[in-house]
Chain A
Amino acid sequence: MLYFLLQKEFRQIFRNRTILAVVLVMPLIQLIVLPLAADYEVKNINLCIVDNDRSPEAQRLTQQLTASGYFRLTGYTASYPEALALLEADRADVVLTLPQDFERGLMRDGGQTLSLAVNAINGVKAGLGAAYITTILQTYNNAVRVQWVQPDRFPATPVLKVAPVYWYNPFLNYRVFMVPGVLAVLVTMIGGFLSALNIVQEKEVGTIEQINVSPVRKHYFILGKLLPFWVLGNVVFTLGLLVARVVYGIVPMGSMPLLYGFVTLYLLAILGLGLLISTYCETQQQAMLITFFFMMVFILLGGLFTPLDSMPAWARAVAYCSPVTHLIAVMRMIILKGSTLHDVLPAAGIVAAMALVLNTWAIVHYRKTS
């Protein structure tokens, strides 16, 4: 019985060019483009300097800021109102004001106060921009000290220097962190949408009636829908791993069977959700909208873009109810850190429970007789 259902489903999939394109091409393009574009590093911060001093030292500082590569000098003026106008016109993100006696103050009084105005509409850009400037000013400050201040006049103060070592991602390569996450989202999207749309499509065309009037047992029918997409999900995942290796040189640190084992379990959960949605919907449009809603919540709360730990408690609670959260976490653990079965067991337990509940619910709710 199941053989005929599977044979039919696979024939339909292989005849559907759109599905094949989505399964084969989408992972490649998304994995190659997304991690490169969706970069946390902030560059091209528009900087405006209000220089009331016009001294060589002011010039030197300006040069150091622009030479850092993070800033783009979009204004160099002597009037603060003019700089504010730039800020308002969105042509400056950061305004640094150097006072009139900048150089003199530095040399004679050994200190100076600068003012920094930051456009904080884009919070990330503002925060990082301010941090970068502070760092560069500090470097500058040290250089000034060495240059102007006699060493012996300055008692050597003990300084604590922190030398961090970054484990699992030694160069803080942003892509290493991002690629497993994007792959997780990809597997989720493809699995979720394909399964959600499939049964509904049979409802729309009317073929489901022909199935409902036959003696096919409904758990076979659901299984006949589940297994083909489960295979497709694994194909997508494999392609993704290949891209990660070829393009980014990311080789999973942990065991491959464990990785596949978890993804397999995870696919059952996400496909179960898709099938459940499709038993509740009458049209593909409804299924699409509902799936989209879940995907948005899952992905935004999944810890791909924002760390779970910085979310409020209620959001974290919601995030733990999303299978995507667990997949992203486990993917990063196994691929980057080489975690073992023991480490991923709690997540595997949660995802297995989700798979069981969602699929059982789908089978119970799907009715051959109304």
Chain B
Amino acid sequence: MEQPIIQADKLTKRFGDFVATDAITFDVARGEIFGFLGANGAGKTTAMRMLCGLSTPSSGRAHVAGFDVATHPEDVKQNIGYMSQKFSLYENLTVAENITFFGGIYGLRNPVLRDKREQLLARLELEHAADKRVGSLPLGWKQKLAFSVAILHDPKIVFLDEPTGGVDPFTRRQFWNLLYSAAGQGITVFVTTHYMDEAEYCHRVSIMVDGRMAALDTPRRLKETYGAASMDDVFYTLARGAQRGE
């Protein structure tokens, strides 16, 4: 069997006495769309930041794209894309300039960079807006653009932290089409979300409660296990027992 692209083994992060992420262990296979669910404050973002090399684990280990996140964070970074909760393209640069910049810092050079930029603009149907400031785009477009920029350098994995907050269901659907097409190209998608309909789209879903991983399976089997009609019910059943909230 192929080596998992993400391997976490008792991965833990403490801030003083507070254990944000408590010894989580899981694997993610290549090309998988992996849903990372949990209530606010359950430790999702902390776990994701450790996997991206943004935060050093307090204990436990994790390998991402074959590199240890604690000892080789910069090698991890070369192989992943990341789209944070906060919208994080430069609003005062144009669409094309943002693509050039982020492509450039990942080592893409012309003419490859130029081709990639054209393809991206064509795929998002943003050719007409290439010279518009990103700040002037509607939120849905910004998010699609941010995702496309995050996978511009063909990473092995893309991490998405609540990528679709605040947009309409139609735009969210379009966004998920982009995720599917990325997964189809072999990019592993690691996504946190609060929308349970989105959880249904994932190949496998984990649910974090109080820093621990309370459940991990396909959406269908999770529903069977908990005798629930929808992922919503599964989530309620598990999250109800949570001690810590916002």
Contact = CB atoms under 8 A, between A and B. Distances in A.
Given A210-B88, A368-B54, A7 B101 contact: yes
Interface in B34-68: 52-56
B92 A369 contact: no
A16 B92 contact: yes
A3 interface: yes
Interface stretch (A37-45, A212-220, A233-241): A212-220
A166 interface: no
A209 B104 CA distance: 17
A206 B54 contact: no
Chain A interface mostly helix, strand, loop or mixed? helix
Nearest to B53: A369
B97 A209 contact: no
B86 A205 contact: yes
The listed residue with most B CB atoms (<10 A of its CB), out of A16, A206, A210, A217, is A210
Interface residues of A, number: 25
A215 B106 contact: yes
B77 interface: yes
Contacts of B89: 207, 210
A3 B74 CA distance: 20
A210 to B, nearest CB: 4
A12 B87 CA distance: 18
A211 B149 CA distance: 13
A365 interface: no
Contact of B93 (A3, A12, A214, A368): A12
Given A4-B101, A8-B93, A369-B73, A206 B56 contact: no
Contact of B90 (A1, A8, A368): A8
A308 B24 CA distance: 62
B102 A214 contact: yes
A12 B86 contact: no
A14 to B, nearest CB: 10
B239 interface: no
Interface residues of B, number: 28
Interface string B110-145: 000000000000000000000000000000000000
Contacts of A215: 74, 77-78, 105-107
A316 B47 CA distance: 52
Nearest to A5: B105
B82 interface: yes
B107 A1 contact: yes
A8 B107 contact: no
B54 A209 contact: yes
B86 A214 contact: no
B105 A214 contact: yes
Nearest to B106: A214
Interface string A336-370: 00000000000000000000000000000000111
A16 B90 CA distance: 13
Contact of A213 (B80, B87, B91, B92): B80
A31 to B, nearest CB: 30
A216 B228 CA distance: 46
B233 to A, nearest CB: 34
A283 to B, nearest CB: 14
A215 B104 CA distance: 11
A198 to B, nearest CB: 13
A153 interface: no
Contacts of B54: 209, 212-213, 368-370
Contacts of A369: 53-56, 73
A4 B104 contact: yes
A16 B106 CA distance: 26
Interface string B2-32: 0000000000000000000000000000000
B95 to A, nearest CB: 13
Given A368-B54, A369-B56, A205 B104 contact: no
A18 B29 CA distance: 49
A108 interface: no
A213 B82 contact: yes
A210 B89 CA distance: 8
A4 B92 CA distance: 16
B77 A213 contact: yes
Contacts of A60: none
B92 A210 contact: no
Given A207-B90, A209-B54, A213-B80, A1 B97 contact: no
A370 B55 contact: yes
Contacts of B86: 205-206, 209
A223 to B, nearest CB: 13
Interface in A192-214: 205-207, 209-214
Interface of B: 52-56, 73-74, 77-78, 80, 82, 84, 86-93, 97, 100-102, 104-107
5 contacts: A15-B93, A16-B92, A206-B87, A215-B106, A369-B73
Given A1-B104, A205-B86, A369-B53, 7 more contacts: A7-B101, A15-B93, A215-B74, A215-B78, A215-B106, A368-B53, A369-B56
The 3 closest A-B pairs by CB, nearest first: A4-B104, A206-B86, A213-B82
